[in-house]
Structure 1
Amino acid sequence: MSISTEIIDGKIAVVTMNYPPVNALPVAGWFAIADAMDEAGKQSDLRVVVLRAEGRGFNAGVDIKEMQRTTGFDALVGANRGCYAAFKAIYECSIPVIAAVNGFCLGGGVGLVGNCDTIIAADDAYFGVPEVDRGALGAATHLSRLVPQHLMRTMYYTSRTIAAADLVPHGSVLEVVPRAELDSASMAVAQEIAAKDPRVLRAAKAALNGIDPVDVNKSYRFEQGFTFELNLAGVADEHRDEFVQSGKNLSV
């Protein structure tokens, strides 16, 4: 289980999530993504990052089983801080970040891709934020970067998912390709970006972040406050226990 980085042609960093069976990340995994993004941004020769995953799906969010087998609130606080750090590091990475999404992208996975600069998806990819079903809140900030407001609200309340192909008309997913072509399609866009002057790319990333209408870091942190309230009230524990007892394979 790991977050690994491979450097391609001295210009492209490929960060891979590999946490079988469903890439539901433990606390350490979220911080490892943050570290990988921070490190990529510090390397002056790098011009773009590709965030991808091995296995059945891109990301199933937080490892709820880790949270439920940990006494006290250490795992909860760790997951909240880790997600915040990972999302923030992607958004603030000094070079563009491309998400290459396969299969499911749920909960915290939406937080990751919502802060990326470009999204390429496989034809089996779908997105959703089932936090309401888990007694938690979060990632509406990032879902709202993928779909319009009213659709975001409906998806949030109902925990519905949306296929990658349906996001192309919204402009949030650049293209959808067969699963076998996902890596090559993502690399093609990465190489197109990597051909640019790295000084201009870094200035462009800072400029685009500077004109964003919503401060995604503060917005997400605000959401997390309601998650803590639900946990203190015992509501979130009830839903997480039910999820673990159900034996489902996907965590969010």
Structure 2
Amino acid sequence: MSEQLSIEQDGRVLRITFNRPQDNGVTDAMAEAFSDAILNAHKTSDCVVLRSTGPDFCTGRARDPGSPAPNPEAYARRPEYDAIFNSYKAIRNAQVPVIAAIEGRAMGFGTAIAALCDVSFASDAATFNIPEIAHNVMPTMVMSALYDRVNRNAILWMAYSTDFIDAERAMAYGLVSHVVPADKLDAELERFCELLLSRPRPAILGLKEYLHVAPRMDELGAIDYARALHSMVNTAAAMKRKH
């Protein structure tokens, strides 16, 4: 697994790299390890940076040689998808921000991960698609990641057509946060990480917590939750530090 998924502690940044350049796919075992690392990142880190080796960010799911064939019975097969669904949940539930840098193609699972991350930087040469239906696979796994990130018309157009979109359209759809010239992607990513690490930790954690929970509340609940977090976070000792 260490060969296919690199996890490196770099100061207060946890760097996770998909390292399967032969096909740029992510296996279920990689997804499980990725989920575990992200859910525990707050113990050592203030943010997670997700990247990939090779020419593409991620071309979708991959099966390792020798892995068992899918169960032919639907009910028995359902848990076989948990590694992917749980990786989506891990990004949503992570206590620290997850930041992605996307180069090349992001397909299926790659598109889902790009959208789920809290901040996603895309190279201006990056492209995105949802290819499943062209392979006679209903793309509901990806849809479960995008349903609250991308507008309905955009999701359905991407899913039905399977066409690639460029990085600027991906940003317009809400898949990524920022598009950067390819030769400046590394510098912009590191600049943002340094900026994030300079912010008070309680505010960083509180922002992610609020945006994870509040959209599922009614108006009164969301306002009351904001009041409570505002009071709690802004009285934290770390918020009093002078920079």
Interval containing the TM-score (normalised by the shorter chain): 0.7 to 0.9
Other-structure match for 1:168? 171
The amino acid across from 2:60 in the alignment is G
Q: Any unmatched runs of 5+ in structure 2?
A: 218-243
Other-structure match for 1:73? 71
Match of 2:181 among 169, 178, 184: 178
Higher alpha-carbon deviation: 100-109 or 131-140: 131-140
Other-structure match for 1:245? none
Q: CA 1:171/1:192 → structure 2, altered by over 3 Å: closer, same or farther?
A: farther
Match of 1:196 among 194, 199, 207: 199
Contact 2:115-2:176 at 8 Å conserved across structures: no
TM-score of the aligned structures, taking structure 1 as reference length: 0.74
Q: Determine helix, strand or coil for the equivalent of 1:63.
A: coil
Q: Any unmatched runs of 5+ in structure 1?
A: 215-252
Residues 104-143 of structure 1: matches in 2 within 5 Å? Answer: 104-134=105-135, 135-137=137-139, 138-143=141-146
Match of 2:6 among 4, 8, 17: 4
Alignment RMSD (CA, Å)? 2.5
Q: Distance in 2 between matches of 1:79 and 1:122?
A: 33
Q: Determine helix, strand or coil for the equivalent of 1:6.
A: strand
Other-structure match for 2:56? 57
Q: Distance in 2 between matches of 1:23 and 1:40?
A: 24
Contact 1:110-1:142 at 8 Å conserved across structures: no
Structure ranking higher on relative contact order (CA contacts 8 Å, 6+ apart)? 1
Indicate the structure (1 or 2) with the bigger Cα radius of gyration.
2
Match of 1:208 among 208, 211, 232: 211
Q: Distance in 1 between matches of 2:80 and 2:21?
A: 18
Q: CA 1:200/1:131 → structure 2, altered by over 3 Å: closer, same or farther?
A: same
Q: Distance in 2 between matches of 1:125 and 1:96?
A: 22
User: How many equivalent residue pairs?
Assistant: 210
Aligned: 1:20 with 2:18: no
**Overall identity of the aligned pairs, in %:** 26
Q: Determine helix, strand or coil for the equivalent of 1:36.
A: helix
Residue by residue over 1:188-242, the C-alpha shift from the partner in whole angstroms, topping out at 9 and shown as x without a partner, is 112211111112211221111012359xxxxxxxxxxxxxxxxxxxxxxxxxxxx
Q: Distance in 2 between matches of 1:171 and 1:154?
A: 14
Q: CA 1:102/1:72 → structure 2, altered by over 3 Å: closer, same or farther?
A: closer
Q: Distance in 2 between matches of 1:125 and 1:42?
A: 32
TM-score of the aligned structures, taking structure 2 as reference length: 0.77
